[in-house]
């Protein structure tokens, strides 16, 4: 007859470890959720830097539009060349 005591010791130790692990996870969760996002000052962006960035963004958008138009015109020409017999 095999004694069941070692099995029960293992079961109880596993359960206790699980409870401790779960409590640690909940503690971490509460620590993260307790961070107040309203009290910290938000980083203010420099006005000149913001304007410069906006200029660069606008220039990039214009360049992309031009490239897109070029690609479209090339595609239309290619399609016409494929479709037309001459």
Partner 1 sequence: MIHEYVYMSIFLVVFGAILVLIDPEYKFYTAMAFIIGALTSLGSGFIGMYVATRANVRVTYLAATVQNDPARPEVKLNLYQAFNAAFKGGCSMGFCLVSLALFVLTILIIVYNGKNLFNIYFIIFIIYFVTNIYT
List residues binding partner 1 (CB under 8 A).
7, 11, 14-15, 17-22, 24-29, 31-33, 35, 37, 40-43
Please state the closest distance from residue 50 (CB atom) to partner 1, in A: 15
- Please state the separation of Cα 29 from the chain's center in Å: 20
Residue 31's contacts (CB-CB under 8 Å, 6 or more residues apart) are: none
Closer Cβ to partner 1, 8 or 52, answer by number: 8
- Please state the separation of Cα 77 from the chain's center in Å: 40
Closer Cβ to partner 1, 41 or 85, answer by number: 41
């Amino acid at each position: 007859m095999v004694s069941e005591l070692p099995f029960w010791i293992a079961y109880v130790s596993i359960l206790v470890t699980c409870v401790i692990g779960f409590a640690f996870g909940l503690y971490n969760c509460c620590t993260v959720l307790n961070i107040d996002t309203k009290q910290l000052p938000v980083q203010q962006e420099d006005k000149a830097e913001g304007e410069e960035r906006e200029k660069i963004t606008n220039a990039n958008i214009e360049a992309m539009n031009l490239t897109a138009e070029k690609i479209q015109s090339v595609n239309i020409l290619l399609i016409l060349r494929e479709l037309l017999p001459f």
